[in-house]
Amino acid sequence: MEGKDLEFAVNGERFKVKSVDPSTTLLEFLRLNTPFKSVKLACGEGGCGACLVILSKYDPDSEQVKEHSINSCLTLLCSINGCSITTSEGLGNAKNGFHPIHTRFAGFHASQCGFCTPGMCISLYSALSNSSGRGGLTVSEAEKSIAGNLCRCTGYRPIVDACKSFAADVDIEDLGLNSFWKKGDSKESMLKRLPCYDPKEHLVTRTTFPEFLKKKSVFRNGLDHRWTTPCSVTELGNVLEESANSVGSLKLVVGNTGNGYYKDDDEGRFDRYVDISRIPEMLVIKRDENGIEIGAAVTISNVIDALKEEEGSSNFKKMAAHMEKIGNRSIRNSASIGGNLVMAQSRKFPSDITTLLLAADASVHMLNNRIIKKIKLQEFLDSPPVLNSKQVLLKVVIPAWTADTGLLFETYRAAPRSIGNALPYVNAAFFARVSHQTVDECLLAFGSYGGDHSIRAREVERFLTGKLLSHSILHEAMDLLRGIIAPSKDTSYPEYRKALAVGFLFEFFYPLIDNNNGHSNGHVDPTESPLPFLSSSQQVLESNEFQPVGEAVVKAGAALQASGEAVFVDDIPTLPDCLHGAFIYSTEPLAKIKSISFRGNVAPAGVFAVLTFKDIPQQGQNIGSKTVFGPGPLFADELTQCAGQRIALVVADTQKHADRAAKLAVVEYDVKNLEEPILTVEDAVKRSSFFDVYPMFYPEPVGDVVEGMKEADRKILLAEFRLGSQYFFYMEPQTALALPDEDNCLKVFSSSQAPEYVHSVIATCLGLPEHNVRVITRRVGGGFGGKALKSMPVATACALAAHKLNRPVKMYLNRKTDMIMAGGRHPMKVTYNVGFRSDGKLTALELTMLIDAGTEPDVSPILPRNIMGPLRKYDWGALSFDVKVCKTNLPSRTAMRAPGEVQGSYIAEAIIESVASSLQMEADEVRKINLHSYSSLRKFYKHISGEEDEYTLPLLWDKVEISSELEKRVEMVKEFNRCNVWRKRGISRVPIVHQVMQRPTPGRVSILSDGSVVVEVGGIEIGQGLWTKVRQMVAYGLGLTKCAGSDELIERIRVVQADTLGLIQGGFTAGSTTSESSCEAVRLCCVILVERLKPAMDKLMVEKSGSVTWNLLIQQAYAQSVNLSASALYTPQFSSMEYLNYGVGVSEVEVDVITGKTEILRSDIIYDCGKSLNPAVDLGQVEGAFVQGIGFFMMEEYTTDEKGLVVQQGTWDYKIPTVDTIPKQFHVEILNTGHHKDRVLSSKASGEPPLLLAASVHCATRSAIREARKQSLSWNCNDGNVDVSGADFELPVPATMPVVKDLCGLYSVEKYLEGTICGK
């Protein structure tokens, strides 16, 4: 056996590994053993794209390099023997020059926090590489290239534009705002200014494959007996025989993608790994007249390519099109068809491929004790789990289809995302031979519905075979099918899944009945349309009044983020003696903790210590977070207060060992003599379990509600609805690094929005004076409020461990733990009475709200104030409320982007919708009638309203009506709904009024001897462009010296990391106003510096006859010992610290009545930014917030089980928006509304308010559902079951596919057929 060492290259650098744990992933190796940090660990499941790299292999036969993207978080290091790996730094970097992908991402403003950006760049690079031999990338391919990547910041639109700029067929004028050209430039000028991309030069992985890897002919690493790479089926048989006679578990490996779902390697389950990806017999793709044979180790991507190449039948191409919706491209590049089938057979994996192959009547070849046997796929699926045996799946055989005009084949899939990495609720594939409406033969396969595996609906097949299709026959077949589709008891939405299966059967057969029109019937489109081109427009006004403030300057460090060289906390090189931490959390909501041990009473490998509240120094306190409302504990003491509460910290030699040990922890609980936990707001009310709300956070009522109710012609009384929670899904999980220092000091690096508070909590916990603690935060990989309080216990636990063990300690929460502990947005129950006149004018609103705050106060007591701000956007006549902040035994909720505001704004819209429905009026008309006049605005908002000319909402309302062509489109929607049975559209216009408040913020500006400038601010760069705006403001402020060349000053300014001992009183970075407050702080610093420089400037002006350069001025100032460092604490005036933001959004959606899928066809937004400090940054904030709002209103389920433990625990079951779920047309205008005397250079906030506009999508969906329900009622036969109950309904948040389908009618297809049969 040649080459026992593992040998490969990373970015051209040679690596040889002599010994390694075979469960080590490529990502682990890259992050711990190389200087390349662009590969990020965000999910560990292959579900986000942050860890992507390019894997290149040299084929000596063709002398070609073959390459594709892979997930380094799943790929096992041993499997890349002989390969070359390229990370984003390997494409280009700051030292050698950035790649055009990096510079275009920066120039199109496509990077905000930057944590996901290197993975995005790799996805695009892979697409460019794959398309290089066939005429280049198309626009459609460019859009799809990032379909498997997650971004929580940007809303994807600028990323899509950056990708499309590489497409051969792009119309360059369709690309959005960028730094390369100005509006009005010619196409020629645009192309010239775009950073040049030449495939011959820039497809670097193809031209730089290392020679030393080409020379090595056979790569068969043994490393030790734990990793084996057989090169034939015979050798595989020998390995299996050998392992059968030994103790221990064995894992067959191709791409290891199954570990993303089952996470077996995380638990150290396997004693031996066998890499079967190099066995020629298992890599074969063979075609003949009987069909196609595919080796079990062939990747899904290669299967797709092979099926696309099949001549003579479109059915193989349909199978390929369906497979392209499985996982994402990088997963398909690694995952094997055999692995997919075995996971489905042995572990109930919800596979699409098994369903497709069942309908194709496929067979498989199995190796068992050196005997190869061919069996039908159904027999394979029904047999005992092969993973528990020594059998191996060798190949799959798909029989050929004979050319036949009566042959029909279709596939179906309903999933939360069309192409963006989501498991289906149900999939199906149908084959049939039909002649003259008679079914001669059919194979009907269904999967992913919650059964053990995909099945053939044989009873339905037998029933239909030989039958002449009719409405009644199809109805009977669907009744039969409902009895066959039997989801297991723990399956979510079982009735929805049954309805999907029935709907798919209807979609397949109904067009054959309806006037014998064939399969292109207008009622049903059985094939999903391809992803339409995303189109967008942005209108922004750049201002030159305060240059460079007001210009669309590229985000500071954007190219560095794209290349992956921007340093986040976990990128800081690990010191040799560094330890790593992982939390053990409670799985009981209220229980005494009797003991903590490990499975088998044996400490897992690498464990150094287990710390609990007892390990906190005697002079310290058990504190893990704090606000003005009180502290929260670091660890549970003898009593755990909620499931998910921190109980202990495991400290081990590696993060992997720490995580593994935390999983193996056994906590013994005792619930005797304890009262029942409070797990609902209703329970909290019964037991009077509330947090106090200070009067300053509890708004005053407006007007006299009793009188308002008397004025009402109509009332809606005791209406009720609930709002769910939402998880932050920042791409960078919670992380911290603590370093013990001399004299009992600590230096802590924390990914935090509130380093000052982290600092204070650590000092209090350890009983140290605050000057012994230093907290440093350079940048945060997304926060959205989740890195404020929730970052504190992570950093504090690290600090405690470092202090106690006198070793550096790092902690990087895995995604599951992060989700369980995060708390997220506040769920709530809302009850209201509303009075209104028959013309739609509101007269009074009474609200009762129960907010679930969880077990700690956190910032929950501010919620009443935050909710009532945006809710007052309409003139309610009079308004009163009773808001209770409930203390429950659930994880404490915390501030999430627009905390309370998004709920308050939506509550107003939900009430407006109910009023409109009650009056049978258009909701838009009711909204318009109740928009504030300036006088009513003053009544509801008092002094916060500002001057009358600052109230721009009526202007925005009218302006968006024109720009969105609202009136015309409303009529088009009505016409569409009249003409379409199974698709319904809705359109909605929603206004927002969002109150924000500035807070005191520090800054320091220092001018160095060479004229370069270093800036410190209290605000943290979390992706919102704070550093960029601060640089612009400093350039403006120092530019007032009027030096020659001062217009280039911005390039000489660097904003540095926050250091709590370097700049104190940093406060929280939250509430949308930290950027403007930080800008004002540094502006005040610049005023001081310009004043100090004035004497030197005046002197030089005389000496140099009026022309003084910046360098000369600074040299003179240094010579005169002028103090060139200035600090300031910006403290806003009480009278103007709060102000209102305005915006209006129009969204149009299309709902699939059969599946419940909602597609956002178009969204138009107009937002008042005052005079934007940076229109590109603010545009990114508007779009990103809006898309995050889409997640809240339409997609993201963040729920708890019966014990209060979070159910969703990763990318498999928590779905944030992806590129295929954002508006297909996305038009945003940032209105520059001129002078606002009390604002920072007349600017206004943009970070949170636009999120509220996403309610327009939810309201449009409600409108579409209403049309579907009206239609459903028209189908009712006298004896038919009523599936929906009319126009009055409440659409829950989030309005997921099952929710929408339920409201459209779970029996809609049956009712339609019943109506047809009875003549309706």
Q: Are 1020 and 1058 in contact (CB under 8 A)?
A: yes
Task: Please report the pLDDT score of residue 402 as a whole number.
Answer: 75
* Separation in Å, CA 445 to CA 455, 476, 992: 6, 18, 48
Query: Edge-to-edge strands of the sheet including 13-17?
Result: 13-17, 6-10, 84-86, 52-59, 64-71
Residue written as token pair 């209060």: 1204
**Is 806 in contact with 577 (CB distance < 8 Å)?**
no
At 299, phi and psi to the nearest 5?
-70, 155
The H or E element spanning position 683 is: helix 681-686
Average pLDDT estimate for 1027-1053:
94
Q: Which residues of 1104-1143 are buried (b: 16+ CB within 10 A; e: fewer)?
A: eeeebebbbbbbbbbeeebebebbbebbbeeeebbbbbbb
| Per-residue burial over 409-438, b = 16 or more CB atoms within 10 Å of its CB, e = otherwise | bbbbbbbbbbbbbbbbbbbbbbbbbbeeee
d(CA 629, CA 696): 13
CA angle 990, 992, 996 (to 5 degrees): 165
In sequence order, which ranges of 1040-1127 are alpha helices (DSSP H)?
1074-1103, 1110-1119
**Is 70 exceeded by the pLDDT of residue 1187?**
yes
Q: Which amino acid is at 537?
A: S
CA distance 77 to 34: 13
Segment 1263-1318, tens digit of pLDDT: 999 999 999 998 887 654 556 666 789 999 999 999 999 999 999 999 999 988 88
Asked if 1227 and 536 touch (Cβ cutoff 8 Å), the reply is: yes
Please list the alpha-helical segments (H only) found in 872-965: 901-919, 923-929, 934-941, 953-963
Strand 64-71 versus strand 809-812 pairing type: unpaired
Residue 1022's pLDDT band (cuts 50, 70, 90): very high
How far does the chain reach from its first CA to its final CA, in angstroms? 76
Separation CA 170–CA 164 (nearest Å): 6
Q: How far apart are CA 137 and CA 305, in angstroms?
A: 17
pLDDT for 383 beyond 90: yes
As a whole number of angstroms, the distance between CA 358 and CA 376 comes to: 9
- pLDDT tens, residue by residue, 490-540: 999 999 999 999 999 999 999 999 754 333 333 344 444 444 578 888 888
Q: How many CA atoms lie within 13 A of 253 on its CB side?
A: 27
Nearest partner of 1260 among 976, 1020, 1038, judged by Cα:
976
pLDDT in tens, 1074-1096: 999 999 999 999 999 999 999 99
Residue 752 tokens, joined: 């935090």
Burial of 329 (0-12, 13-18, 19+ CB in 10 A): buried
CA separation for the pair 1192, 1292 (Å, rounded): 11
pLDDT tens per residue across span 807-833: 999 999 999 999 999 999 999 999 999
- Report the pLDDT value the prediction gives residue 1199, as an integer from 0 to 100: 96
Give tens-digit pLDDT for 556-586. Answer: 999 999 999 999 999 999 888 999 999 999 9
Question: How far, CA to CA in Å, does 1190 sit from each of 539, 1160, 1295, 1297?
Answer: 22, 10, 10, 13
Q: What is the pTM of this model?
A: 0.97
- How far, in Å, CA of 540 to CA of 1169, rounded? 10
Q: Is 519 left (phi over 0), alpha (psi -120 to 50) or beta?
A: alpha
Residue 500 pLDDT: 98
pLDDT tens for 477-493 read 999 999 999 999 999 99
Report whether the peptide linkage leading into residue 548 is cis, meaning its omega lies within 30 degrees of zero: yes
HEC readout, 740-791: EECCCEEEEEECCCCHHHHHHHHHHHHCCCHHHEEEEECCCCCCCCCCCHHH
Residue 930 has pLDDT above 50, yes or no: yes
Instruction: Tell me the C-alpha distance between 324 and 524, whole Å.
Output: 22
Which residue, 238, 235, 256, 352, is CA-closest to 27? 256
Bridging pattern class, strands 1158-1168 and 1225-1231: parallel
For 890, the token pair is: 């659930």
- Helix H or strand E segment including 161: helix 157-164
What are the tens digits of pLDDT across the range 1-35? Answer: 244 789 999 999 999 998 899 999 999 999 999 99
